[in-house]
């Protein structure tokens, strides 16, 4: 009998291989990358990104860090990331499954993940990421959350016209091309997210003192300094 978790992982991998071939547009994540970048330690020699996708944040990290190691388990994403980062010799892209990858202990000044942790077992991954940080290093996470309560529902109502307006300004259209929408819709059928309460509880347990911030476009961030 096949392993259900392995089937789920392969489904996500296939989804992102497909998305990589279709989408060249920015995402809601991009609006918060500069915020993450401002949280980096002043001296950043080595940075690690988990789930780098097409390498947008990896390239930003490479402007501040001496060396960037960027992992993603989608071969198509890695191929596209390498092509877009041809002018960044200090980035190494590896096609790797973060759940199986051997995280080196206390080896990085920054460990980051953008819109990836909701695909993984969060407690285990945050533990690995924190152990990989050197003393004084910074852990950065940007991800999506599940609404809970009236406040989150109201925020979503406010976010919708903002999202449409931003897309219209950037691309001249309200919606992505049909093929891109279909690929993301297919992927979204198996996506699941934690609520902010769950995220905060995990951070209290594993990352004492972490700053968990809610952002408008269905995102939250975690910033944690290792002391």
Domain definitions of the chain by residue range? 4-147+183-225
pLDDT given for residue 189 in this prediction: 72
Average pLDDT of span 3-30: 68
Residue in the structure block whose two tokens are 């897309």: 167
- Distance, in Å, from the CA atom of 60 to the CA atom of 11, rounded to the nearest integer, reads 29
C-alpha to C-alpha distances, 211 to 49, 63, 138, 177, nearest whole angstrom: 19, 24, 11, 36
pLDDT tens sequence across 135-187: 999 999 999 999 999 999 889 989 889 988 887 887 777 777 777 767 666 76
CA angle, 196 as apex, 195 and 200 as ends, to 5°?
125
pLDDT of residue 15: 66
How far from chain centre, in Å, is Cα 190?
17
Closest CA to 45 of 139, 140, 137, 142: 137
Model pLDDT, residue 185: 67
Average pLDDT score, the chain: 89
**What is the tens place of the pLDDT at every residue in 112-129?**
999 999 999 999 999 999
pTM exceeding the 0.85 threshold for the entire prediction: yes
Q: Is 37 helix (H, G, I), strand (E, B) or coil?
A: helix
Q: What is the CATH number of domain 4-147+183-225?
A: 3.40.50.150
Q: Kindly state the helix (H) or strand (E) to which residue 202 belongs, with its residue range.
A: helix 196-206
Residue 91 confidence (pLDDT): 98
Report the greatest alpha carbon distance in the chain: 50
What CA–CA distance (Å, rounded) separates 153 from 210? 25
pLDDT single digits (tens) 41-63 = 989 999 999 999 999 999 999 99
What phi, psi does 99 have (nearest 5°)?
A: -70, -20
């Amino acid at each position: 009998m096949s392993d259900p978790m392995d089937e789920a992982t392969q489904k996500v991998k296939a989804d992102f291989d497909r998305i990589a071939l279709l989408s060249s547009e920015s995402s809601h994540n991009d609006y918060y990358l500069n915020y993450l970048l401002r949280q980096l330690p002043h001296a950043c020699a080595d940075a690690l990104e988990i789930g780098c996708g097409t390498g947008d944040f990896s390239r930003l990290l490479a402007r501040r860090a001496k060396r960037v190691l960027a992992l993603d388990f989608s071969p198509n994403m890695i191929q596209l990331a390498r092509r877009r980062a041809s002018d960044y010799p200090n980035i190494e892209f590896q096609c790797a499954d973060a759940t199986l990858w051997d995280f080196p202990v206390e080896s990085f000044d920054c460990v980051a993940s953008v819109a990836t942790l909701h695909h993984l077992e969060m407690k285990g991954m945050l533990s690995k990421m924190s152990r990989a940080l050197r003393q004084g290093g910074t852990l950065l996470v940007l991800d999506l959350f599940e609404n809970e309560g009236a406040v989150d529902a109201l925020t979503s109502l406010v976010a919708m016209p903002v999202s449409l307006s931003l897309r219209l300004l950037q691309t001249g259209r309200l919606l992505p091309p049909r093929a891109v929408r279909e690929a993301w819709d297919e992927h979204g059928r198996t996506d699941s997210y934690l609520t902010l309460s769950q995220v905060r509880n995990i951070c209290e347990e594993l990352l004492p003192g972490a700053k968990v911030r809610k952002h408008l476009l269905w995102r939250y961030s975690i910033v944690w300094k290792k002391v």
